[in-house]
A and B are shown apart, each in its own frame.
Chain A
Amino acid sequence: MDFLNAIVALLNFVVIPATSYGAQLALGALGVTLIYGILRFSNFAHGDTMAFGTAMVILVTWAFQSVGIHFGPLPTALLALPFGIAITAALVLATDKAVYRFYRRQKAAPVILVIVSMGVMFIMNGVTRFIIGVGEIRFDDGGRFIVNANEFKKATGLAEGLAFRSTQGLTILTAIIVVAALFWFLNKTRTGKSMRAYSDNEDLALLSGINPERVVAVTWIIAAGLAVIAGTLYGLDKSFKAFNYFQLLLPIFASAIVGGLGSPLGAIAGGFLIAFTEVGFTYAWKKVATYVLPDALAPDGLAQLLSTDYKFAVSFAILVIVLLFKPTGLFKGKAV
């Protein structure tokens, strides 16, 4: 019984939260890694693209709610998602035309594009705050739980309850669908293959008649879509706050780099690795330990390895350790 309780506690406080957080990081990192692969730079504006897109989703959600449109047991934000993606994709494409394209034509050094993306980051940051403010916003509605802790306790007779929030379930499900669709697109469609070809060898892609502007545009649209989905899922799971999204940049970059920049598979692996280590290191293991260990060995304190405030430190430490042993990341990225 104690063992079962321990497993339930572990699922409840580590596995489920880490999986949904990992899915959110993976989606974010996929966007970063795609831009890196095709446009050859790390997009510092990605966190703010997520923030902007989520803000748009929130606005549309509010509009739906105000006219009484709901999505049954699911969050209304899901209905708003396509609109948010469309608006964000339009903004990102406009940014590309107005800003990035010039440097592409100049064959500018990628590091210049990184600095350019800093400027875009400032602007997007300002625009998002301008539109929706800096406060914390919760916008999840619909059913709260797939599995409720009390009902679970009653049904199983265990002391430990299992709570599986619908936003977490939704996050994991959406992430699986999105990732599957992305991989199908990249590996099976003509456009997807042309993107991989362009990422592999730009000149040869040009000589094969692949239109670079089209590749770049499709990449931006996909990256915007991934950013808005990741941002909305994160916001549903936790809450929306513009500055938090900016700060997600570090774990997202860390995920993409740990996995191997430019490798979509790596971005997913990196996202989950970072999420599980962050949650694992900052979870207070006392509960699990008391169930599993004999009383004499039970810990006195919280058995928390690090305070949650140090979760960035964990992502960073994992990053350094992986790079020390595998300089190009887990899945051989485009480095070196």
Chain B
Amino acid sequence: MNLRNLLLFGFVALLIVLEGTTTAFGLFGGSWNTALGILNMGLISAILALGVNMQWGYAGLFNVGVVGFVALGGLAPVLVSTQPVTEVWTTQGAGRLILALLIGLAVIALAIVLYGRLRGRNRTLAILAVLIGGFFLFRAVFDPAVDVVESFQPATHSNLGGLGLPVLLAWPVGALFAAGAAWVIGKTALGLRSDYLAIATLGIGEIIIAVMKNEDWLARGVKNVISIPRPVPYEVDLQRDPGFIDLAASFGSDPVTASTVAVKLLYAGLFVVILLALIWASEKALNSPWGRMMRAIRDNETAAEAMGKDVTRRHLQIFILGSAVCGLAGAMIVTLDSQLTPGTYNPLRFTFLIWVMVIVGGSGNNWGSVLGGFLIWFLWIKVEPWGHALMGLITSGMAEGALKSHLQDSAAHMRLLTMGLVLLLVLRFSPRGLIPER
């Protein structure tokens, strides 16, 4: 941490403080509520960027399916912390459904075993037979069970529900979900004769989101799950708590504003703890023999291989770790929002924007990723109002009409343009990012 980096972080902190305190030049919101909102998502973005940086920065693995891991992590709070829908936990409902899933897994496992055991035409035929037969068996068991589950109170439930456990438990579970998916993808894509990770992650990302949108029994699909339990108190409870009202009064604030700020601060506290722990762990890991080996592989794979390093295995390891971090962040987002809305998982927002953060911050540098996460998230949020203001300025001299209203309506799309521009400028003039790898 040299002076320049401290200044960069100071600058981002200043931006957030300004957002909370001033409305100067119309650039900032002047509300602690929005400032803390940006801070919280900035913290999560930083964690996401850390995850992608592990893969790209330290192993050169090109993951363009981040959105899938985030979504998968987001599933965890629903499955862990919502109340179980006991009415569908019957033999014909949940029981049969779980049996179907086990059958599906068994079929795939059998196909993999056959792939390893047999050779030539027999292999192709056997695998095809197992997959096709297995598919129909799976559907035969699965479809009626889904009907049972999804027909139960479609307006409010139609899913299995969760385990009713504390929501914080969902965070590591989300990481585990993502890690599991990463293991499967990595095993397949990194095991092929040449490396096809990019297209594999792109595909799996889309598939995970398709599953989450369509499998209502899992998490209600596009009908969304709302009111996911929180790890922090509710605003209304705080506003009723006399102790809190007194505390708010001592700051000279009304209880409503104070409660929203307090809740956001509590979240921020939780997120900061996680972020610091992750940075500590990854810095520690990177300076360990394991981290040195990772860099040796990255910088000269042939030499590392010649020294007997199992490159594919190391790549798989770091791919799983990075994806787990993304899954953790996904669970945190859903917890922060208290809802799961699969329709919002857009690859531009959850894959490519994270890449912008990593590249702008500095590939291979954990602190760079954190900085990139905060800075790009701040821009992502603020460019939209700035765009509106700018368009207002540009069109102020124009006559009322179709062009003027079109320009004003289109201002919202400035944020994509800006992100692209920022990425290109940094890549061109500071290709190592704002905080380069040592």
How many Å lie between the Cα of A77 and that of B409 in the bound state? 26
CB-based nearest A residue for B427: A116
Q: Answer whether residue A336 sits at the interface, using C-beta atoms and an 8 A cutoff.
A: yes
30 residue pairs of the A-B complex, CB under 8 angstroms, read A112-B431, A115-B427, A118-B352, A118-B356, A118-B420, A119-B420, A122-B348, A122-B352, A122-B416, A122-B417, A122-B419, A125-B420, A126-B413, A126-B417, A129-B413, A129-B416, A130-B417, A133-B409, A134-B413, A253-B199, A301-B143, A312-B203, A312-B206, A312-B207, A312-B210, A316-B203, A316-B204, A323-B196, A327-B194, A336-B194
A111-B203 contact, Cβ under 8 Å, with A119-B420, A122-B423, A123-B417: no
Q: How far is the CA of A131 from the CA of B410 in the complex (A)?
A: 8
A63: CB under 8 A from chain B?
no
Contacts of A253 in B (CB 8 A): 199, 202
A295 within 8 A of B: no
The one of A115, A121, A312, A316 that contacts B359, using a Cβ cutoff of 8 Å: A115
Q: Quick one: given A99-B424, A111-B62, A309-B214, are A320 and B413 in contact (CB under 8 Å)?
A: no
CB neighbours of B266 from chain A (8 A): none
Is A129 touching B213 in the complex (CB atoms < 8 A)? no
Q: Knowing A121-B352, A320-B200 touch, does A126 contact B423 (C-beta < 8 A)?
A: no
Return chain B residues, CB-CB under 8 Å to A324: 115, 192
Check if A316 sits within 8 Å of B207, measured CB to CB.
yes
Inter-chain contact A313/B210, CB cutoff 8 Å: yes
* Interfacial chain A residues near B416, Cβ < 8 Å: 122-123, 125-126, 129
For A123, give its contact among B135, B206, B420 (CB under 8 Å). Answer: B420
Q: Is B355 close to A, CB under 8 A? A: yes
Interface assignment of B428: CB less than 8 Å from any CB of chain A: yes
B199 near A254 with CB under 8 A, answer yes
| Alpha-carbon gap, A188 to B431, bound state (A) | 41
Contact bitstring B193-230, A, C-beta under 8 A = 1, else 0: 11010111011101100110110000000000000000
Give the complex CA separation of A119 and B423 in angstroms: 6
Closest-CB distance, A276 to chain B (whole angstroms) = 17
In the complex, A125→B211 CA distance in Å? 26
Does residue A305 face the partner (Cβ distance < 8 Å to B)? yes
Interface residues of B in 144-198 (CB under 8 A from A): 188, 192-194, 196, 198
Q: Is B388 an interface residue (CB 8 A)?
A: no
Taken together as a complex, chains A and B put the C-alpha atoms of A125 and B424 apart, in Å, by 14
B199/A319 in contact, CB under 8 A: yes
Most chain B CB neighbours (cut-off 10 Å) among A126, A307, A336: A126
CB-nearest residue of chain A to B206: A312
Question: Is B99's beta carbon under 8 Å from chain A?
Answer: no
Residue B414 lies at the interface, judged by CB distance under 8 Å to chain A: yes
Interface size, B (range)? 35 or more
Tell me the B319-377 residues at the A interface (CB within 8 Å).
347-348, 352, 355-356, 359
Convert A83-107 into 0s and 1s, putting 1 for each residue whose CB lies closer than 8 angstroms to a CB of B.
Answer: 0000000000000000100100000
- Decide: B196 and A130 in contact? CB cutoff 8 A: no
Secondary structure type dominating chain B contacts: helix
User: In chain A, residues 261-278, which have Cβ atoms closer than 8 Å to a Cβ of chain B?
Assistant: none
B420 touching A309, Cβ below 8 Å: no
Give Cα distance in the complex from A312 to B205, angstroms: 10
In the bound complex, CA of A158 to CA of B224 (Å): 45
Closest Cβ neighbor of A311 among chain B residues: B210
- Asked if B423 and A309 make an inter-chain contact with CB atoms under 8 angstroms apart, the answer reads no
Is A257's CB under 8 angstroms from B410's CB?
A: no
B421 at the interface (CB under 8 A from A): yes
CB distance from B318 to the nearest CB of A (A): 17
B207 contacts A310, C-beta separation under 8 Å: yes
- Smallest Cβ-Cβ distance to B188: which chain A residue: A320
Interface centre among A123, A130, A133 (most CB of B within 10 A): A130
C-alpha gap A34/B85 in the complex (Å): 53
Does A181 interact with chain B (Cβ within 8 Å)? no
Report whether A307 and B199 are in contact in the complex, using a CB–CB cutoff of 8 Å: no
Decide: B420 and A129 in contact? CB cutoff 8 A: no
Q: Return the CB mask of A16-37 against B: 1 if under 8 Å, else 0.
A: 0000000000000000000000
A127 at the interface (CB under 8 A from B): yes
User: In the complex, which residue of chain A has the Cβ closest to the Cβ of B205?
Assistant: A250
Taken together as a complex, chains A and B put the C-alpha atoms of A87 and B192 apart, in Å, by 41
What does the 1/0 interface line of A319-336 toward B look like (CB < 8 Å)? Answer: 110011101100000011
User: Whole-angstrom distance from the CB of A11 to the nearest CB of chain B?
Assistant: 25
In the complex, what's the smallest C-beta–C-beta distance from A109 to chain B, in angstroms?
10
Task: Please give me the residue from chain B that is nearest to A307 by CB atom.
Answer: B214
Extra pairs beyond A126-B417, A312-B207 (7, CB < 8 Å): A114-B62, A118-B423, A123-B424, A124-B420, A126-B415, A130-B414, A327-B192
A250 close to B423 (CB less than 8 A): no
A112–B427 touching, CB < 8 Å: yes
Q: Does A120 contact B (CB under 8 A)?
A: yes
Which chain A positions have C-beta within 8 A of B418? 126
Given A126-B416, A312-B210, also A305-B143 (CB < 8 A): no
Residues of B contacting A316 in the complex (Cβ-Cβ under 8 angstroms): 200, 203-204, 206-207
Bound-state CA distance A116–B198 (Å) is: 15
A246 at interface by CB-CB < 8 Å: yes
Contact A120 B420 (CB under 8 A): yes
Contacts of A168 in B (CB 8 A): none
Complex Cα–Cα for A121 and B410 (A): 18
Min CB distance, A279 to chain B, in Å?
16
- Report if A76 contacts B (CB, 8 A): no
Which residue of chain B lies nearest to A312 when distances are taken between CB atoms in the complex? B206
Q: How far is the CA of A122 from the CA of B420 in the complex (A)?
A: 5
Contact of A127 with B427 in the complex, beta carbons under 8 Å = no
Docked pose: A123 CA to B415 CA in angstroms: 9
Most A CB atoms within 10 A — which of B196, B203, B359?
Answer: B203
Beta-carbon contact of B206 and A250 below 8 Å: yes
Q: Which 6 A-B pairs have the closest CB atoms?
A: A122-B420, A126-B417, A126-B416, A316-B203, A123-B420, A119-B423
Q: Please give, as numbers and ranges, the residues of chain B lying within 8 Å of A129 by CB-CB distance.
A: 410, 413, 416
**CB-based contact A121/B420 at 8 Å:** yes
B189's nearest neighbour on chain A, judged by CB, is A320
Distance to closest chain B CB from A52 (angstroms): 12
How many angstroms from the CA of A323 to the CA of B417 in the assembled complex? Answer: 36
> How many angstroms between the C-alpha atoms of A287 and B374 in the bound complex?
55
With A254-B203, A310-B207 in contact, do A123 and B421 touch (Cβ < 8 Å)?
Answer: yes
Known: A305-B135, A312-B207. A126 touches B192 (CB 8 A): no
A126: which of B188, B414, B431 is its contact (CB, 8 Å)?
B414
Q: Which residue of B lies closest to A109 (CB)?
A: B60
Contact of A102 among B192, B199, B347, B428 (CB under 8 A): B428
Chain A residues, Cβ within 8 Å of B415:
126
Cβ of A54 within 8 Å of any chain B Cβ, yes or no, is no
- Across-interface contacts of A246 in B (CB, < 8 A): 347-348
Is there a chain B Cβ closer than 8 Å to A199's Cβ?
A: no
Question: Hey, what's the 0/1 contact readout for B252-272 against A, CB within 8 Å counting as 1?
Answer: 000000000000000000000
A166 interface residue, CB < 8 Å from B? no
Tell whether A171 is near chain B: CB-to-CB under 8 Å.
no
